[in-house]
Every structure is written in C-alpha cells, then in structure tokens.
Structure 1
Amino acid sequence: MEQKVYRTELTPLSFLERSALIFPDKTAVIHGERSYTYQEMAERVYRLASRLRALGLQKHERVAFLCPNTPALLEAHYAIPAAGGILVAINNRLSSPEIGFILQHSGSKYLFVDHEFFPLIEALNLEQLTQIIRIDDSGAPEDPYEQFLAAGTPEPVKSWLEDEEETISINYTSGTTGNPKGVMYTYRGAYLNALSEVIESGLNSSSIYLWTLPMFHCNGWCFTWGVTAVGATHVCLRKVDPSHIWELFESEKITHYNGAPTVHIFLAHHPKAHRLEQQITVTIAGAPPSPTLLAQLKQLNMRPIHVYGLTETYGPYTVCEWHEEWASLPQEEQARLLARQGQGYVTAERARVVDPNMQDVAWDGATMGEVIMRGNNVAKGYYENPEATARSFEGGWFHSGDIGVWHADSYIELRDRAKDVIISGGENISTIEVEQTLVQHPAVLECAVVAIPDETWGNAPRHL
C-alpha cells in the first residue's frame, strides 16, 4: 500500500509517545507512595507489550484485565494495543459466572488479575487461557506483575496497526436481561473521544486527574487516553472512599474527577465536605443528576460538567455546554438548565430525538421520543453478535433506548429509559421528573422511582 504523506492512522497510543517525548521527567502516575514519570510509564508499557509479543500474542487476540484503578490497568490501555491485541477490561463488580461468560465469549488468551479479585476466578473453567498473571499491586520486585514486566524490553515494539478502524478494546455491557454484550471500540473512535474529553473538561499539562471513575467503564470514558494526551497526571485509586478522596483533593491538588451522581452525592454530603480553595472540574454522567445536586457541587467550588452517553458511545456523547448568559439567572434556574443532557461533543454528530418512524419530534421540550446517535463517537458493533448490532443500528443510527425531549435551543433532556416509563391511566409518567422533584426536599438525599401495579390505573409510581 502506498504511503500517504498526508495521513497517519489515528491511535491514542500516540498520546503516550508524545508525552514521553515532551514531558519525560514529569509525573505521569501517582499511586499511594509510588509514582512514575512519563518516561517510566512508557518503558513499563513497552515492557508489557514486548513480553506479550514474546509469549506469542497474535494480532487482535484478546487480553483481559480484572483490576481496580491501579497503574497496571492504566498501562494495559496502551500496552495491549501496542502489542497488537485487544483489551478487555472487566467490570470487577460482576459475579463469577458473569466474568466467566466474558472470558469465554471474548476468547481472551491472557488474564491479568488483581489479588483482591482472585477469588472471583478460582471456580471458573479457564482452560482457554494461555496464562494468568497475578497483580499484587505492590510495585515490589517480587510482585508477579512486576516480574512479568521485568522480562520484557523497554523499547517500543513495531506497530501492527494497519487501519484506524481496527478494534482497540471490547467493553461488556451489563444488561438487566441476558448475557452482557461486547461493545467494540476502534482506534479512531478512542482517539477522537479522548480529545473531546480534553476539550470539554479543560484538561492541560497542569491538570491532576483523580481516578474515581472505573477504568473498566467505557475505558474510563477514554480519560485513560485523554489525560495522557496533554501530559497531565493520573492519580490512581483502588476504591471510592469519600474520606480519603477529600484528603487527596488537597494533598495532591486535584483539578479533575469524574463519576456518576451517586459518587458526587457521597462526596457532597460527607462530614469532610467543605468549600475548596482551588476549584475542581467534575464531570457527571451515568444517570441524570438532579438540579439540587448540581447546585450543591457549585457551592463546594466544584465546576460540574454534565455529559451523557452509553457504553456504545465510548461513554459521554453529549455535553450540556454552559452559556455565559445563564450566570445572571437564579441558582435554581442555572441548575435546571445544566441538568439537561445538551448536544453532541465536538467530534460527534448532533444527537436526535425521534418518533417510532425515525422522524424528529418537535423542539418543544414536551414531546417525547427516543434519543439516537451516529458518527465518530459510536462503537462499531457488538462482538460476535450481529443480530444485536443490527437491532441497535437500525436505520443507520444507534438507538439508545433512552426517552427524551428536544428543547428549542437544540438541547435534549432525558425523561426515562424506554422500559422504565410508567404508564398510569394511559398517561406517561417520567420517573426522572418525579425523582428530581423529590430530591428538592432537604430530607431526601437520593431516591429512585419505580412502577407498581395499581387496580385503578394499571401502574402507579412509587419511590424507594
């Protein structure tokens, strides 16, 4: 194939190469008492990649990791694709049978397991695996993972990447019914989404990012690559401990962290919570945050960025971009506007809200329809599941299954999951709207609204 001077394949691995070149002595990773510079991080990544190559890893073979947010899992996001493999970062909150299914379905050849989660695999049939590597997460020479790295070489391995649309990772969704589906991310999609995260969250080389969001979740919303892209610092975290996090905010001078509303609620209501001297940018997604929570975060000197997406969209796909004119509005109104899901990222197409015939609903903030997306920030399908891929991508768009409305300013706002809308007496009731009303009461910290059978209305809402 003729070499094109004007094109190279997009790959997030280039982010580490660049930061190791430009910021070799800058701190890349902090994990407790340990830290690594960008040069050291790159060498560890290359050791892992070369070791897997030496053991016979073939192009596109799957390598699974079952870990908390430790340096090993961060390194895997670079080393596995550098070696030519496909990363399968497994949700460590799953049961043993679910983990077993993912290992079998993905056909993973290698499995790296943190010591904390070894009991989850002890009863599984792992005959298809070539090797299991234990990670003690000590950084000591006797740690099996460190021994594995020591057997590799610190020089880059020759890239096998030919097309940026090749699969870089498979992320398994946890559905409420049936087995998890493996969502395939491409090098191109991961690269572009990572850059969008940089843009939307305002990351730069002075940023210090705290890993409160699981790296196994949509590859950490691609922040695993985005933080590195600008030479910022990763602060790893084995578990979400609000007390410890409040200490890290100040001891490590944290500038950014991400999480679902529950994580932010824990932090906002912790006894150590106080207004910060240095503002922290907090990206919030996973479930629609209440205006009440957004207002509380701002009072703590946290700048909330509200984003929305799914595993099938590399994590965040839309962002509720702030408008300067909102600053003159009452705090309650600001929070209400910020609670909307907004519109597509810089690298994404406009999200749509459509009726069952795929026609746009009215931009009136009231007519409900399904949120659909397509483009750079949509995964290329489900691994070994063409039927599910065809269903989700019907009509050339990804069907989210989320129900929302479209406002006159082009911003979308979620009302519910399609399966969660409560139909009572023939009327649709949005559980999100009821929940957001309830949490306005000072005695309510968090709530969930579900449907229960009702003799008169068929269904009726009930809060938990």
Structure 2
Amino acid sequence: MEHLVQNSANYVPLSPISFLQRASIVYGERVSIVYGSLNYTWKQTYERCCKLASALNRMNVSNGHIVAALGPNIPELYELHFAIPMTGAIISPLNICQDSSELAVQLKLLEPKLLFVDYGYLKLAVDALEILTKTCTGFEFPEVVLMLETNPEAKMDADNDDLLRSGYRTYQSLIDDAENDSGFEIVRPKSEFDAYSIVFTSGTTGEPKGVVHSHRGTYLTTLAEIILNEMKAMPVFLWTVPMYHCNGWCFTWAIAALGGTNICLRKYDAKFIFDAIIKYNVTNLGGATPVLSMIANSNHKPLPFKVNIITGGTPPQAHVVYKIEELGFILTHSYGMSEMLGPGTVYPWRPEYGTLPLQEQAIFKALHGLNHMLMEAVDVKDPETMESVPFDGLTIGEVMFRGNTVTKGYYKNPERTRAAFEGGWYHTGDMAVRHPDGNIEVKDRKPDLIVSGDKQISTMDVEGVLFSHPAVFEAGVVGKPDEELGQTVCAFVRLKEECKATGADEIIDYCRGKLPEYMVPKMVVFENLPFTSTGKLKKTALREMAKSLA
C-alpha cells in the first residue's frame, strides 16, 4: 500500500479555528453574539477575529507566545478564544475572582506577551503587576490592552476613572487599526499536538496549576460536549459558565461549530437566568453546583419549554436535581476537571429510568457514570499496583483516564507532569468505587478522604446525608485531628434562613439515623462555607478551621 500516502488532501490538523471559519460561511448572517443591545453575526465575528489576529501579528505575537485575558463573559473574551490561536499563539483566560497576589503568581508563570484586561478588572491587573515589580527581577512585563464596555445599555464603573485615563491601547483600536489589512493569513497548527490554551486549575487542593491543552484535545472535547449535551444546530447558549474555567467547558467552540447564538453577560442571578431564557429562547446553559442551587431555590414557576443544563464538579444533591427537573430543565451531570477541559465521564441515561419516580431518577443523575464517547478509557485503580479494583461498589481506588482529550501536561512543571502520567494513565487524585454495572462513583479527593482508626470515610457520603436534612442549605465535611483515631468527622453547615434555630445535636442525631456510627459527625460547626470562583468547596480552608478547633 505504498501508494497510499498522507497529504494535504486527506489530512488537516484538527483545530477549533475551523469551526469559526465554517460558521462564517454556513451561518454567516445568523446572530452569533448578543450582549445587551449589541449584536454580531457570524460573518462579523469572523471578520473581527481576523482583524484582531492581524493586529496581534503586527505586534509581533506569533507561534508559541502566550497571550493572557482577564475579563467576564463578554464578546471580546469570546473572540479572543479564536483570534489569539489564529496567530499561532496560546490563549490563557484568567480567573477574575482571584486576588492580586494569586493573579501575580499566574502572570509570573505565564510571562505573557500581551495581557487583555476588561476595564472592570484593570485595578486587579495593575495591582498584580505592581507585586511583580517589587518581587521579580528579570520579569518581562506584558503590554496591557484594555477592553472597554461595548454594551450600549451599560455604564462603565467610575471607580477606575484614573486608571482608564492612563493611555492604554484598547481592544477596539486594534480592530480599527487593522481595518484595511488584507494580507493576513490564519496560522494553522503544524501539529495537532501544538498548544492551543493554558487554563488554571481551581486550586481546591493547593496552588493552581497551568494546564496545557492541544488543538486536537480542544477540538475533540468540543465534539464531546455537543454529543453528550445532545446539542442541535443553531442552539442558544446562556453564558452562566465562566469562559476562564476550562475555556468555558469548550462551549466557546461548540457554539461556533453549530452556528448558535452566544448570550454574553457580566453578572447574573436567578431572576436574570429565567428572564433571559424566556427572552432569547435559550436552549442550553451550564453551571457548577452553586448555580444549580441558586436555580432550585429561586421559587420560580416552571419554564414553558425544556432547557438543557449541564453541571460538573461536585455531584448535585438528589433534591436539587429533583427541583431542577421540576422547573423544566433537562440535567446532564458530567465529571471531569481542568486537565480534560471539563467532561471526562457522563452518566448514561437509559429509557427505563424515565419510568422511575423523580426522586429515584435524581439519585441516578447525580452519579458519575462512564467515559464519554471521545475519551478512550476510564478506570478505577489501586495507585500502588495499578491493578483495577473489583466492580463491587465497595473497594476504593483512584480514578484514572486515558484518551486524546487529556491535557498535554502542566506548564513549566515537568515533575508534576511525569507523576500525573505514571503508568500510562492520567492520575486524577479522585478516589472512587466501581459498581457492578461498571459505572464509577467518586467518593472523595485523595487528600479529603478521612482515615478514622481502621476506617476510610468518604466526606461526600456524609455530605449527602447532611444535604438531605430539610434545614441544611450548604454542607462540607473534613477530618478533624484526633489523638486516638487519627481523624474524626467534622461537619461545617450553613442553614437555610428560615431554619436558623436548628442545633448541632439535631443534625448529629439525624446523621446517626442514616449512617454507621463511625461516619457520624462528632462536631457540627455552623458557618458560611468557602467556595472557589468556579463553585468548588475549599476543603483546604475547612481543614485548617477543623485543625484550629482540635
């Protein structure tokens, strides 16, 4: 078969850039972005991205450079997800909810060529750069490009007036200056394995890490999102997922692939979500567990049509799933992480489940399931022997993945990269069991598992019981140091406003009726719980609080 060869006719490196190119032709006159009263079509979005890429090219941004972006879910951040890679550079969207010292750490690691900053977060960026001025020698500071408000209905916050007068180059000026550029050619990746984006982990178990993803990985994960969410052509997506979190769980590219409409926004609450769904005929949205809780506790009447919602991270509690479904949402729960740009598994829904009572359906929907169709394999293994655990629903092992959508590794961190891929599998650090039908159920992060005497206790199992108490709004469980047992169970609970009179003894007695004695909390602390900006519970902070109580 020597005459059968790979060439440009039968092989083109996979890249999400092609989704936008196609959308500009197939869906050219359809609305691509809505932001207040600002609208763009797919043809306009493509043209704006090309102009911006041309301007970046003239600023000497090219192959291998990193360009960082700090902003909420606005049109500019959406466009940057295409325009930066169109130059051969790598996009790194940054968390807008971190403080200046955390941002400084990420900027020091990245050493970006440029830093795009939304006007509302300019002070945060300036403060982070000032920290680097005082603490770093030899750091090459990025040029800051300012993204001003483009929604005609909105007013810019006056708090930044002094900074805004500092003469920064603006996002729109780059596009205006490239108005007559006609010679720019999109830079396609030479290899599918070339880096496309660097995203940062949530930092729930320590300092956030820079996770590198390839053109191939981002392309295939985008297709996985489309399939597992059963998305049809021309969807309407409400941006309640942060674009900085796993590149918006790849919906940035999925909406372009399907010629859909992006409903961009700066901030939202439950009322905004329901109003926007009705106004724009939203078909899809997503959100971590706190977003689901916000919707479930909104006291809103059911929607007049079905809306698909995907969640990830901590499994939603059964009563939240039940309420979400009652309101007219179709929920998909996927389990994943930054290292696979969001989804790794999805619970496969079967027709016979639909005949079960809603409460039982909710329990199934909160499980973690199996690898999606574009993830090669998932397994639960003993991390020491690398042997698979039995399908008994009892034996705890570590969740491991293998597939084309897994990260390239951690930026500037070869030791952690090697450890993560030891034995030819990606080690998640999540501990789980495997049920007789093959489905996995995550029990805990490795550092979160409580070892009490000779017992291993899943904090998620205890939290599930706490959440079922009618007075509990939020709950988090960690191990509290104990001289005799090593650790005992300590529960942190936030009560519903109307249930403030509920006492610790009542919570403990409730758990005693539903859990083995060794799993019952020995202490209940009523406290507001700390969450990351992506909606994940900060167990490290709770462990420090428990340690101080000991």
TM-score, normalized by the shorter chain, greater than 0.5: yes
Name the residue aligned to 2:234: 206
Asked whether 1:133 is paired with 2:159, we answer no
Name the residue aligned to 2:177: 151
Q: Distance in 2 between matches of 1:30 and 1:416?
A: 39
Which secondary structure state, in structure 2, belongs to the residue aligned with residue 445 of structure 1? strand
Q: What is the Cα-based RMSD across aligned positions, in Å?
A: 1.8
Name the amino acid aligned to 1:229: A
Please say which of residues 94-103 and 108-117 is displaced more in the overlay.
94-103
Unaligned runs of 5+ in 2: 134-138, 153-163, 493-550
Name the residue aligned to 1:297: 324
Which secondary structure state, in structure 2, belongs to the residue aligned with residue 40 of structure 1? helix
Q: Give 1:38 deviation, angstroms.
A: 0.4
Unaligned runs of 5+ in 1: none
- For the pair shown, the structure with the greater C-alpha radius of gyration is 2
Query: How does the TM-score come out when normalised to structure 2?
Result: 0.81
Matches within 5 A, 1:156-167: 157-167=185-195
Aligned residue pairs, count: 462
Name the amino acid aligned to 1:152: A
Q: Distance in 1 between matches of 2:186 and 2:482?
A: 64
Deviations 1:209-254 (A, max 9, x none): 0110111111111111011111111111212322211211111111
Indicate conservation of the 8 Å contact 1:170/1:184, yes or no: yes
Name the residue aligned to 1:170: 198
Which secondary structure state, in structure 2, belongs to the residue aligned with residue 18 of structure 1? helix
Name the amino acid aligned to 1:150: D
Q: Distance in 1 between matches of 2:470 and 2:204?
A: 32
Indicate conservation of the 8 Å contact 1:203/1:227, yes or no: no
Among candidates 347, 354, 358, match of residue 331 of structure 1: 358
Would the alpha carbon gap of residues 341 and 315 (structure 1) be closer, same or farther in structure 2, given more than 3 Å must change? same
Among candidates 185, 205, 221, match of residue 193 of structure 1: 221
Please say which of residues 44-53 and 288-297 is displaced more in the overlay.
288-297
Q: Distance in 1 between matches of 2:206 and 2:350?
A: 42
Which secondary structure state, in structure 1, belongs to the residue aligned with residue 126 of structure 2? coil
Name the residue aligned to 1:37: 41
Indicate conservation of the 8 Å contact 2:35/2:151, yes or no: no
Among candidates 303, 316, 320, match of residue 343 of structure 2: 316
Q: Distance in 2 between matches of 1:409 and 1:4?
A: 44
Which secondary structure state, in structure 2, belongs to the residue aligned with residue 228 of structure 1? helix
Indicate conservation of the 8 Å contact 1:111/1:129, yes or no: no
Matched-pair identity in %: 37
Query: How does the TM-score come out when normalised to structure 1?
Result: 0.96
Would the alpha carbon gap of residues 44 and 4 (structure 1) be closer, same or farther in structure 2, given more than 3 Å must change? closer
Among candidates 260, 284, 292, match of residue 311 of structure 2: 284
Would the alpha carbon gap of residues 215 and 411 (structure 1) be closer, same or farther in structure 2, given more than 3 Å must change? same
Which secondary structure state, in structure 1, belongs to the residue aligned with residue 359 of structure 2? helix
Q: Give 1:107 deviation, angstroms.
A: 1.7
Indicate conservation of the 8 Å contact 1:257/1:281, yes or no: yes
Matches within 5 A, 1:32-111: 32-111=36-115
Among candidates 259, 267, 271, match of residue 231 of structure 1: 259
Name the amino acid aligned to 1:248: A
Please say which of residues 417-426 and 68-77 is displaced more in the overlay.
417-426
Q: Distance in 2 between matches of 1:417 and 1:2?
A: 44
Please say which of residues 339-348 and 95-104 is displaced more in the overlay.
95-104
Q: Distance in 1 between matches of 2:426 and 2:448?
A: 19
Q: Distance in 1 between matches of 2:199 and 2:250?
A: 12
Which secondary structure state, in structure 1, belongs to the residue aligned with residue 410 of structure 2? coil
Indicate conservation of the 8 Å contact 2:48/2:175, yes or no: yes
Q: Give 1:40 deviation, angstroms.
A: 0.7
Name the residue aligned to 2:12: 8
Q: Which consecutive segments of 4 or more residues in structure 1 shift more than 6 A?
A: none
Name the amino acid aligned to 2:295: L
Indicate conservation of the 8 Å contact 2:295/2:324, yes or no: no
Name the residue aligned to 1:274: 301
Name the amino acid aligned to 1:352: D
Indicate conservation of the 8 Å contact 1:353/1:370, yes or no: yes
Indicate conservation of the 8 Å contact 2:288/2:312, yes or no: yes
